[in-house]
Chain A
Amino acid sequence: MHKRLWLLAVAAVAVLLLAASATARTTSSGSVHAASLKAAPFAESWAQTPRTVAGRKAKDVVVIADEQDPSGFNVYQATQSSAWAGYMITPVIRGAYIITDQGGYNLDLAKSVKATKTSLTITLRPDANWNWGGVKSPVTNADLKYTLEQFLNPNNQVASNTGYINIDPAKTQLVGTKTAVFHWRTSCPADQLSAGTCAVGPFADYRDLFGIVYPSKALAGLDWNTLWSDCVCGNNGKPISDGPYILTNWTKGNGTTLVSNPMWYGHKPAVKTIQWKFVADTSSEIQGMRGGEYDMIYPSPQTALSQLVNQPGLVYNTNRAYIFEHIDVQLGPQGNPLLKNPWMRQAIFLAINRVSLIKAIFSSYAPGVKPLNSLEYILGKAALPHFGKWATSQRKAIALLKAHGCTGGPSVPTRGNSNFFSCGGQPASFRWFTTVGNDRRSTSAAIFQQQLAAVGIKINPQFFPGPAVLFGKILPSHDYDLSEYAFVAGSPDPSNNDSIFKSTGGQNYTQWKNAKADKLMAQAGITFDQAKRQALYEQVDQLLANDLPIIPLYTYPSILVYRKALAGAEHSNASLSTGPAWNAEQWHWTS
């Protein structure tokens, strides 16, 4: 048996060596092919990246931790769409406008954009160019036309075609090489109208159109649904860019490299290389940032980040993300009838203490988070605090319930109260649905349960898997009373929320129906004057604050941590799809 044991040991060592050797050749990129700008595997590029901050400063390299390995880079294709892929291609493929960290729209590839009730005219910058494998060619109006066609192609799995379907492609006029005139549709075939692939009238949120401009020549002959699944390149496999950086390689499970684009029209980037290094776990990411492995992180908000708040040599920047946590109140027949009464919704809002919830959840790592008091606008001066009038007052909540004939509850707010109100014979007891496995939501359910019990309202929290059950089944069925979850806005424009608040909106799970609000949103949809448009949405916000179909809680904090020596990143904390590298061309290392 001695011999047999030795044989076994030799076999095990052989397997080990075989496996170890095999992994040596598993990291080559399948992404981009031969060219003067040939994409080396991330491995090669990363191997050249200095491991110390000082070394990276000397070589003008920035390493950003990337929390999610992309599924591809055509982020407007619904199943490839991912936040981190969007952040990576923002400096690579640009659009007519770019959205800033404060929700502003800055002209980017477009020199001018003019929208009227009949048409949309976009004139591209004369110096906007493609760099396709090292060859320079202008970004033209043919690219705008091609982009429109992709969004309108019924075989394409587009993540959104809102606004594009208002444009009549047959009437597109190309003027010279840089100007395109698009005309809004005046009619739609009935079947397309009902299928949602065609819409009539102007689209006032025109600044969100052409957020990306596809290179028509480079993509000729490619299937839009599968393009850029492993690179950002043209039909010959060479990388393409019209932004300040070129995505030169991507290795799945490792990372992505961007190098500066000498053909970019704007400010020449001082940082020559950006490495997005994949790190899946936020705790590891935090340790890596502490230990000098990364220069910038854009982490998912979590308590462990408190370690970095006062870390010397780092800047800890907090902004508002366009993700708003809220409580949906079901107003349809499937919900509890008591919730149809505005006073009951007001009592709930008055009873909960959003400040204490936020303190419990965010104080250690995002001290600037405040209760959300507007739904239509989240950032900037337009975000007026219409919901601020419902500041916590548990005494007022009890008085309100009593004034409407509710009995059996406490006469003053009482901790640990177990006497609940009954209103018209109906107990003030509600189903509270939220997602499972989310610490913030389990904390808020526990806190709100206690706070509402103190005023005689009972909630029964139940936790469900998010995509499969809560979003996939419960919300569309409207069979709930109260539900806490978050809406993710695609852009700062309030029209993003129309589908939530319009009576016929696809995401109007609460079944709130307000004819005045519908009219205001319809009016805003054709109002191109931004000030007038804002005034219309402010009125919708006031109606929401009065009716309370939704109780806003807070917006998620958007946290960006970077090295103090990396100047120009002060305004990089953009929480939308643009991400932290939206102004990477402005970054530079200071001594």
Chain B
Amino acid sequence: MLTYIARRILYSIPVLFLSSFLSFVFVSYAGNPLGNLRANPRIPANTLRLVAERNHLNDPVVLRYFYWLKDFITDKMGKSLLTFQPIWPDVHRTILHTAQVVIIAETLAIILGVAVGIFSAIRQYSVFDYTFTSLSFLGYAMPTFWLGLLLQILFVDIYLKWHVRIFYTSGLNNIGEGTWTLDRLQHIALPVVTLCVVSFALYSRYMRASMLDVINSDYVRTARAKGVAEWRVITRHVVRNALIPVVTVAALNLGGLLGGAIVTETIFTLDGFGYYFIQALQNSDFYAVMAYLVVTSVIIILFNLIADVVYGYLDPRIRYD
């Protein structure tokens, strides 16, 4: 197993370099920091020259990539092209904010999704099954920005009608009050619900399908034939095996969300990693954009690896070469 993990990590290094190079080329061609400055009618030519020279904007893109790479490796991701401020503190701050919201949302989604998936499979074609199948599809199809806005309007209307502040519509924190205070939960509740709805739909569908696969397998029939109680068959033999693919999907989904709950973070003004990326992109701040892309690439690679390892860990039949 350890050899397998080491090999996968080694394989990831050239992949990271290649992806960072391609990202840098695309980002460089997609945006131009001087383009934003030129919108100012009075921008001096000397300033444009200084910005271009200091940021190597007149050099070939390949050379610029190596300038960036040097800063990224030797200077903790380098400094913002615009503000000259170090990038690492911003990445550190925002990724932890994203992690908190995403992990809570994913935990809730997994618990609810698995429970609903199990029950839907056991009561296949029942009213419960049809209801949650419909709700799952609705949740999956609903655009995040729309759901977020609906939730905001709902809770503002509640406030206006009854003067009760249940949840806030934006911001991550009234920070002085601590991490697990009611105030914090009032702020992050709506983004958590928004993220949770989409993931819940995914997990409940996966769990249901996986349960139905297992529930009709030979060893389950054998257990029933041997007179094992139905609840015991379900909990011991069906659920445990059905969970394996869901765990894999959850690991991959978590990795994806950590890198990019962009829409949710923007709607609710969460000082998160996705929103940091959007701001950097709008400002054509290449180095900040690149920091996001590299970190996201690492997260995706890491969670793919975790998914594979967890799969093997849970299913002893899997062996790694």
* Chain A residues close to B by CB (< 8 Å): 1-2, 4-5, 8, 12-13, 15-16, 19-24, 26-27, 30, 41-44, 46-48, 51, 69, 71-72, 78-81, 154-162, 195-197, 225-226, 229-230, 251-254, 277-281, 283-285, 287-288, 290-293, 465-468, 471-472, 476, 487-490, 496-497, 499-500, 506-507
Contact = CB atoms under 8 A, between A and B. Distances in A.
B31 A467 contact: yes
Contact of B41 (A195, A280, A497): A497
A79 B57 CA distance: 14
A154 B155 CA distance: 54
B232 interface: no
B44 A290 contact: no
Given A291-B159, A472-B35, A20 B152 contact: no
A13 B39 CA distance: 49
Interface stretch (B198-206, B221-229, B263-271): B263-271
B195 to A, nearest CB: 14
A25 B283 CA distance: 27
A278 B171 CA distance: 7
Contacts of A157: 47, 50-51
Contacts of B104: 16, 20
Given A15-B103, A19-B99, A159-B47, 6 more contacts: A1-B315, A20-B100, A22-B96, A47-B177, A155-B50, A507-B41
Contacts of B171: 254, 277-279
B240 to A, nearest CB: 6
Contacts of A1: 240, 314-316
Q: Chain B interface: which size bin?
A: 35 or more
Nearest to B158: A291
A490 B41 contact: yes
B231 interface: no
A468 B35 contact: yes
Contacts of A291: 155-156, 159-160, 169
A162 B45 CA distance: 11
B103 A20 contact: yes
28 contacts: A4-B313, A8-B247, A8-B314, A20-B100, A42-B175, A44-B176, A78-B43, A79-B33, A81-B40, A157-B50, A159-B42, A160-B40, A195-B46, A229-B83, A254-B173, A279-B170, A281-B267, A283-B152, A284-B269, A287-B153, A467-B284, A471-B38, A472-B32, A472-B38, A476-B38, A489-B41, A500-B41, A506-B41
A490 B41 CA distance: 8
Given A155-B50, A279-B269, A27 B41 contact: no
Contacts of B42: 159-160, 162, 490, 496, 499
Contacts of B46: 154, 161, 195-197
Given A15-B103, A23-B179, A253 B271 contact: yes
Contacts of A277: 171
B18 interface: no
Interface in B81-109: 81-85, 89-90, 92-94, 96-97, 99-100, 103-104, 107
A205 to B, nearest CB: 10
Nearest to B86: A30
B56 interface: no
B124 interface: no
B97 to A, nearest CB: 6
B96 A26 contact: yes
Contacts, number: 223
A506 B81 CA distance: 25
Contacts of A160: 40, 42-44
Contacts of A465: 30
A21 B84 CA distance: 30
A79 B51 contact: yes
B36 interface: yes
B279 interface: yes
Contacts of B38: 467, 471-472, 476
A26 B93 contact: yes
B292 interface: no
Interface of B: 30-47, 50-51, 80-85, 89-90, 92-94, 96-97, 99-100, 103-104, 107, 149, 152-153, 155-156, 159-160, 165, 168-180, 240, 243, 247, 266-269, 271, 275-276, 279, 283-284, 310, 313-316
A458 B314 CA distance: 66
B232 to A, nearest CB: 13
Contacts of B31: 467-468
A20 B31 CA distance: 35
Of A43, A47, A281, most buried by chain B (CB within 10 Å of CB) is A281
B107 to A, nearest CB: 6
A240 to B, nearest CB: 19
Given A26-B97, A51-B165, A252-B90, A5 B240 contact: yes
A109 to B, nearest CB: 22
A43 B83 CA distance: 23
Nearest to A283: B149
A423 to B, nearest CB: 34
A42 B172 CA distance: 13
A500 B41 CA distance: 8
A66 B218 CA distance: 62
A196 B45 contact: yes
A48 B176 contact: yes
A79 B159 CA distance: 41
A281 B159 contact: no
A284 B82 CA distance: 28
A47 B93 contact: no
B118 to A, nearest CB: 14
A499 B103 CA distance: 53
Contact of A71 (B83, B103, B159, B243): B83
B240 A283 contact: no
A81 B47 CA distance: 13
A157 B168 CA distance: 40
Nearest to A208: B42
A15 B106 CA distance: 12
Contacts of A155: 50
Given A27-B173, A160-B43, A80 B50 contact: no
Nearest to B177: A47
Contacts of B275: 253, 280
A227 to B, nearest CB: 10
Contact of B39 (A42, A226, A488): A488
A20 B34 contact: no
Contacts of B310: 8
A476 B85 CA distance: 31
Contact of B81 (A79, A285, A471): A79
A256 B180 CA distance: 24
Nearest to A69: B279
Contacts of B315: 1
Contacts of A292: 159
Contacts of B169: 284, 287-288, 291, 293
Nearest to B90: A252
B41 A496 contact: yes
A477 to B, nearest CB: 13
A497 B42 CA distance: 9
A78 to B, nearest CB: 5
B109 to A, nearest CB: 12
Given A157-B47, A292-B159, A472-B35, A43 B176 contact: yes
B37 A79 contact: yes
Of A22, A48, A253, A471, most buried by chain B (CB within 10 Å of CB) is A253
Contacts of A278: 171, 269, 271
A19 B243 CA distance: 25
A43 B179 CA distance: 12
B314 A5 contact: yes
A506 B34 CA distance: 14
Contact of B269 (A226, A280, A497): A280
Nearest to B107: A16
Contacts of A154: 46
Of A4, A71, A284, A293, most buried by chain B (CB within 10 Å of CB) is A284
A387 to B, nearest CB: 20
A466 B281 CA distance: 13
